[in-house]
Structure 1
Amino acid sequence: MRPNPNRASDYQKFVELFLGRTTFSRQCRIRNPDDVLVDFDPTENELTASSYKFVQVANQALGYRIKYYGLRFVTNFKQNVVSFYGQPVFEEMTPRNERQKRLWEANRLAAYRGSLTHFLKSVHDNQVTTEGFLAQRLRIVPNRRFPQADSLRRALLRRRLNMVLTSAENDSLARWGKEPPAFSILYTKPRPIDSLRRVSADGAHVFLRYTNHLQVSYLRESPDPLYRLPAARIGVAPVAPPRDRQVSQLMLMAREIEIQPNGQLVNPLGVFTDEYWGFEKMGEFLPVNYLPPAPCPAPPHPTHDR
């Protein structure tokens, strides 16, 4: 088999998307890069990665070594979607001194605050508002003008192959080219807890369940300084979120999914996250048995080793 001439650039894209681009992610390193197999399909514009044993990540921001077994990583650049799953095993690093121990503890708490796990636990425990979250209904409405715009765009582009477009046609192409496939409508009223979950009759099981999409804001912490507003998702025009909170979107891929008491989902592939939760990756990755100090306090902002 011939070596892949693009392996270095493909691997670097994988590293950025797998580890993330956060302040904590910048302190993460993959220790066994030769064990990661990356492949890019130009036809599908899709990058995949896997490992025949595990991917070892050292997170100096949180003080963990992670062995990520059975990695299956896929990103589709057409759809701007990243997904990966596997079985992580965490090992705590030994701090150099008491200062580093306190730093790791503070950073772990910062990684937990406002995370998807934190939100889901607050839904499970009926503590959404108490824990600093605002959950709102988000509805995606198809743009009825987009099919017309798309048809006109294709017709004019086909004509361009044979002759020069008139100024009126160029104006039409520019105007219709700005039409998004869909619009997002945000309902400002907070969603009540009964619209976010279903509790079994015996009270032993709690299920994440809601209609439409969900916008979730964490009101007690600003975004990471490295966070940049994402480009428009396919089908949705971009809306700039406020800078004094962390704004994420949550899409349910099944009718309902059980939430465990620790905030983990029984089926973690049953949800799709976007915006801020899509920005956070391995740099904020915590063990499923991580427990924040009780009660979970409001910050100051986390500090980072320089």
Structure 2
Amino acid sequence: MVRLFICFIFFCSSLSLSAQGLFAISGQVKDKKGETLPGAGIYLSGYTTATVTDNNGKFTLPALKPGSYEVVIQMMGFLPYSKSILITDQSASFTAILSENTIQLQEVTIKADPNRAKNLKLFLEFFIGRTPNSAQCKLLNPQILFIEDDRKEGILRVSTNDFLIVENKALGYRLKYMLNLFEYNFNTRIIYFSGLPVFEDLKGSGSKRKKWLQAREIAYAGSPQHFFQSLYKNQIQQEGFILYKRVKTKNPDRPADSIIQAAKERLVKRIHGPLKAGSALADSLSYWQQVQQMPAENVTLDMRGVQTDTLIKTAGPDLKTINYTDELYVLFTPEQESNTYSSSGHYVLRPLTIPNYQISVIRMLKGPVGFYANGGMRDSRALLYEGFWAYEKIGDMVPMDYVPLAK
């Protein structure tokens, strides 16, 4: 069964990349007693921008374009703090009050969990990924994870009250991720997580940095971030994307699940003793089992191409929305699917006429969905990814301020 992935949120999206005035976000960091906190780390979620508070607990993040940002603050001994800031035509300022992290400050007794190692492995697979880049990632502090395996609901939940630290030696980043929520549904096989990522460049030699730049370029190309940036600029074809429409309709030859189940139960009640092969009862039961295996939906691919201007509307000077009813079938033509991907469980069927391009499917769960010039999304649970975009996760992520190399 194909795994699906609900797009995770970056919580920050620079609304405009056009030539406009630059502004700043400034503020002061204090504890609940009113004492200022020098040395606190100040970050913009999804970006490489960062600073620290001075001796008076004050900070400034300068040279910011108008947009929506999520400021993330980290201080040893305190819970991580985040604040949404919208910059339109003037700079913004706020005071952050941090709460002590009592779990760090006191000894905690953790119950032994015989399934922790197995569930941690699942979490790493679904959070960091199983790509070649993900294989070069390491979670440095797995001990801070709270893992709940709710078999009654069929959901694996993971949370934390501090930053996860992921070292990505493939892309040259040290990722600090404030995980708000992670859920994996064992029944639907849908993965969802959201949080606040902060990027730091790893130190390396000139040859290493050159290798990282090349790897980052490949990771960015064809990603959701790249796609929505191209969509915002109305340049998807120039950037190598092709859009088709995948249509699902109810299979008229397959009865409803309730009818199938009722028929099987009636037949099972008639069984007394061993079931003879070839008997009318055995044949009837076999028939309904075959009917149950029939697809509930018929899937067709409309290859006439999608006109993006029929999907996109301008919602404001720096915000656009996308809305549609069927599924978008996205081809990225400059890159092909690898054998590693094809055997990962994410493979999407294609007509024989389509070459081995990377394919992703976008299902809209709740529309319209707002998106910004840098590819940032407004609603983390509005889109469901299938295919290549569901395959790539944290291990292939680049910052929202990543600038691709000039062609």
Residue 82 of structure 1: how far off its partner (Å): 0.1
Residue 221 of structure 1: how far off its partner (Å): 0.1
* 1:288 has 2:403 as partner: no
Moved more, 183-192 or 82-91: 183-192
SS for the counterpart of 1:216 is strand
Counterpart residue number, 2:93: none
CA distance in 2, matches of 1:177, 1:286: 43
Counterpart residue number, 2:335: 221
CA distance in 1, matches of 2:214, 2:125: 24
CA distance in 2, matches of 1:243, 1:58: 35
Write the letter of the residue equivalent to 2:329.
Q
1:215-246 CA-partner distances (Å, limit 9, x unpaired) = 1010110124311367599xxxx735766211
Change (3 A) 1:193 1:86: same
Counterpart residue number, 1:128: 236
Aligned length: 289
* 1:22 has 2:131 as partner: yes
CA distance in 1, matches of 2:309, 2:270: 59
Counterpart residue number, 1:209: 323
After TM superposition, list the pairs within 5 Å mapping 1:85-234 onto structure 2. 85-95=194-204, 97-148=205-256, 151-157=259-265, 159-160=267-268, 163=271, 164-165=274-275, 166-200=281-315, 204-228=318-342
Residue 195 of structure 1: how far off its partner (Å): 2.1
Residue 154 of structure 1: how far off its partner (Å): 4.5
Write the letter of the residue equivalent to 2:304.
K
Moved more, 97-106 or 112-121: 97-106
1:244-280 CA-partner distances (Å, limit 9, x unpaired) = 2110011223322222111111223321111110000
CA distance in 1, matches of 2:175, 2:195: 12
CA distance in 2, matches of 1:6, 1:121: 41
Greater strand content: 2
SS for the counterpart of 2:148 is strand
Residue 156 of structure 1: how far off its partner (Å): 1.8
Give the CA RMSD over aligned residues: 2.3
1:15-69 CA-partner distances (Å, limit 9, x unpaired) = 1111111111111111001011111111122111011212111111100011111
Moved more, 63-72 or 150-159: 150-159
Counterpart residue number, 2:366: 254
Structure 2 unpaired stretches of 5+: 1-109, 276-280
CA distance in 1, matches of 2:115, 2:317: 54
Change (3 A) 1:205 1:10: closer
Change (3 A) 1:232 1:101: closer
SS for the counterpart of 1:191 is coil
SS for the counterpart of 1:180 is coil
Counterpart residue number, 2:100: none
- Shift >6 Å, 4+ stretches: none
1:4-24 CA-partner distances (Å, limit 9, x unpaired) = 221111111111111111111
Change (3 A) 1:111 1:232: closer
Note if contact 2:126-2:191 (Cα within 8 Å) is conserved in structure 1: yes
Write the letter of the residue equivalent to 2:342.
R
CA distance in 2, matches of 1:231, 1:184: 19
* 1:239 has 2:349 as partner: yes
Change (3 A) 1:2 1:197: same
Counterpart residue number, 2:30: none
1:61-117 CA-partner distances (Å, limit 9, x unpaired) = 10001111133100101111000001111110011x222111100110101000011
* 1:31 has 2:140 as partner: yes
SS for the counterpart of 2:119 is helix
1:150-191 CA-partner distances (Å, limit 9, x unpaired) = 523453256436625533124303421321121222100110
* 1:10 has 2:119 as partner: yes
Counterpart residue number, 1:301: none
Using the size of structure 2 for normalisation, the TM-score is: 0.66
CA distance in 2, matches of 1:211, 1:167: 42
